[in-house]
């Protein structure tokens, strides 16, 4: 299976539960995300990409949530939501083009690696300033309300973001105006080096919703079906005028915060090993094996084919030329102003062909 042969919009499951076919499809996406993750960590160590934010351990939370949404919904991610993007129909090559900032990168090399956005999939560019996407998701939901547009906006964020001003401002507005927003907190237990128990005295993060007058739900983020059901219900409430929901999906981040972090400096290997015992991919695999939907041979083949596809796709993206330096005059405004045209012409005279960085 190649990335281009996959659905280009999020799969929509119209039943109450994930169908067996969708469960298997979800498993494929989770495997793909894990393989991309392993590969990108290694590529960064080899100096072939500059920066990466791993998501291993959070695959069921992301894939389960994405399967519960519709293509017309809007995603406001933090920076760890690669699996959500894949399920929405973003091709692997689109992700890698951005990571290497080649000429096909829609952000033309102007964004930090791993900060991608995809217009066709209603996937807004990732937000590194913690929590800012939360108020944006609420604002977009208010716009949808005014237009009578039956969509939900979904803000993805971590446990650390619940301490940000934007979290509280966003949830308050959402509560007052009953916006069609799903707040999806992936509590991965760490905000870089700050553990969950230093973040808040509240027993759960979900209960913070109560102060803003709407429901907060805790869900096991390693349980694909439970996440899917919870997000599905929250989305249904949102689009039917019932207002927002805060979901706390409890997961664990296996890797470092990012490739710039060394998690060994602040947490014990034993803690990570214990979390890996609850691995969401292994859990779903066991369920699929028990249901006769998968066997060990097919599973081994899936991993092998996925690794080959990821390698092949990255190698192709890496070979592409970088964006033309003269492209920096594009997108300043919708159209180039006379002044920009003049500057571009000057640049062309000095560096014919738009300059070459190779
Ligand atoms: C406003 C702001 N403050 C601090 C930072 C530095 N920072 C980057 S990521 C991060 C931790 C965020 O943790 P969490 O919200 O739990 O998400 P996770 O990275 O665990 O997915 C911090 C403090 C930032 N990017 N923005």
Ligand 1 pocket, residue 160 CB under 6 Å = yes
**Measured in whole angstroms, how far is the alpha carbon of residue 25 from the centre of its chain?**
18
**273 Rama sector, left if φ>0, alpha if ψ -120 to 50, beta otherwise:** alpha
Give pLDDT tens digits for 258-282.
999 999 999 999 999 999 999 999 9
Ligand 1 pocket, residue 30 CB under 6 Å = no
Instruction: Assign 6 to helix, strand or coil.
Output: coil
Which residue, judged by its Cα, is nearest atom 13 of ligand 1? 191
CA distance 108 to 1: 28
Question: Phi, psi (5° rounding) for residue 32?
Answer: -60, -45
To the query of whether residue 253 is one of the catalytic residues in this protein, the response is: yes
Catalytic choice (168, 266, 307, 312): 266
- Ligand 1 atom closest to the Cα of residue 130 is 26
CA distance 81 to 5: 22
Find all residues with CB under 8 Å of 38, minimum gap 6, and list them. 56
Ligand 1 pocket, residue 257 CB under 6 Å = yes
> Tell me, what DSSP letter sits at residue 118?
B
To the query of whether residue 254 is one of the catalytic residues in this protein, the response is: no
Are 95 and 38 within 8 A, CB to CB? no
Ligand 1 pocket, residue 130 CB under 6 Å = yes
- What is the pLDDT tens value at each position of the chain, 358 positions in all? 333 334 444 555 555 689 999 999 999 999 999 999 999 999 999 999 999 999 999 999 999 999 999 999 999 999 999 999 999 999 999 999 999 999 999 889 999 999 999 999 999 999 999 999 999 999 999 999 999 999 999 999 999 999 999 999 999 999 999 999 999 999 999 999 999 999 999 999 999 999 999 999 999 999 999 999 999 999 999 999 999 999 999 999 999 999 999 999 999 999 999 999 999 999 999 999 999 999 999 999 999 999 999 999 999 999 999 999 889 899 999 999 999 999 999 998 887 665 554 4
- Ligand 1 atom closest to the Cα of residue 186 is 21
What count of other Cβ atoms lies within 10 Å of the Cβ of residue 212? 19
Tokens of 2: 């190649």
The string of DSSP codes covering 176-205 is: HHT-SEEEEEEE-SEETTEEGGGT-SSS-S
Ligand 1: centre distance to CA 163 (Å)? 10
Catalytic choice (88, 232, 237, 257): 257
Find all residues with CB under 8 Å of 332, minimum gap 6, and list them. 340
Ligand 1 pocket, residue 82 CB under 6 Å = no
Which residue, judged by its Cα, is nearest atom 3 of ligand 1? 130
pLDDT of residue 17: 82
CA distance 203 to 336: 54
CATH topology of domain 3-323: Rossmann fold (3.40.50)
Write down the residue that tokens 């907190």 correspond to.
Answer: 185
pLDDT of residue 5: 37
> Tell me, what DSSP letter sits at residue 153?
E
Domain positions in the chain: 3-323, 324-358
The structure's pTM equals 0.94
Which residue, judged by its Cα, is nearest atom 18 of ligand 1? 158
Ligand 1 pocket, residue 251 CB under 6 Å = no
Ligand 1 pocket, residue 192 CB under 6 Å = yes
pLDDT of residue 9: 45
Ligand 1: centre distance to CA 170 (Å)? 17
Give pLDDT tens digits for 45-55.
999 999 999 99
- HSE at residue 172, side-chain half, CA atoms within 13 A, is 6
Ligand 1 pocket, residue 163 CB under 6 Å = no
To the query of whether residue 148 is one of the catalytic residues in this protein, the response is: no
């Amino acid at each position: 299976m190649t990335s281009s042969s996959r659905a280009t919009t999020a799969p929509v499951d119209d039943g109450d539960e994930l169908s067996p076919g969708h469960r298997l499809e979800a498993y494929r996406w989770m495997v793909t995300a894990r393989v991309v993750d392993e590969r990108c960590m290694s590529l960064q160590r080899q100096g072939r990409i500059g920066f990466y934010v791993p998501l291993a351990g959070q695959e069921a939370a992301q894939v389960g949530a994405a399967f519960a949404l519709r293509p017309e919904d809007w995603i406001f991610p933090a920076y760890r939501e690669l699996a959500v993007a894949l399920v929405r129909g973003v091709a692997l090559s689109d992700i890698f083009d951005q990571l290497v900032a080649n000429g096909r990168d829609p952000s033309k090399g102007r964004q930090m690696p791993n900060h991608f956005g995809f217009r066709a999939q209603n996937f807004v560019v990732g937000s590194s300033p913690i929590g800012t996407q939360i108020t944006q998701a609420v604002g977009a939901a208010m716009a949808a309300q005014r237009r009578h547009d039956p969509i939900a906006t979904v803000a993805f964020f971590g446990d650390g973001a619940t301490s940000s001003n934007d979290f509280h401002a966003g949830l308050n507005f959402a509560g007052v105006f009953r916006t069609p927003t799903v707040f999806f907190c992936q509590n991965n237990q760490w905000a870089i080096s700050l553990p969950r128990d230093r973040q808040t005295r509240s027993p759960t993060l979900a209960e913070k919703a109560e102060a803003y007058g709407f429901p907060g739900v805790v869900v096991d983020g390693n349980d694909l079906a439970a996440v899917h059901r919870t997000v599905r219900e929250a989305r249904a409430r949102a689009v039917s005028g019932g207002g927002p929901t805060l979901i706390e999906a409890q997961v664990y981040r296996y890797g470092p915060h990012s490739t710039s972090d060394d998690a060994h400096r602040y947490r014990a290997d034993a803690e990570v090993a214990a979390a890996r015992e609850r691995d969401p991919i292994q859990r779903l695999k066991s369920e699929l094996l028990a249901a006769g939907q998968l066997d060990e041979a097919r599973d081994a083949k899936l991993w092998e084919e996925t690794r080959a596809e990821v390698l092949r796709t990255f190698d192709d993206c890496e070979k592409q030329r970088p964006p033309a330096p003269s492209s920096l005059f594009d997108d300043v405004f919708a159209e180039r102003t006379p002044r920009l045209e003049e500057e571009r012409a000057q640049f062309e005279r000095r560096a014919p062909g738009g300059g070459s960085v190779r």
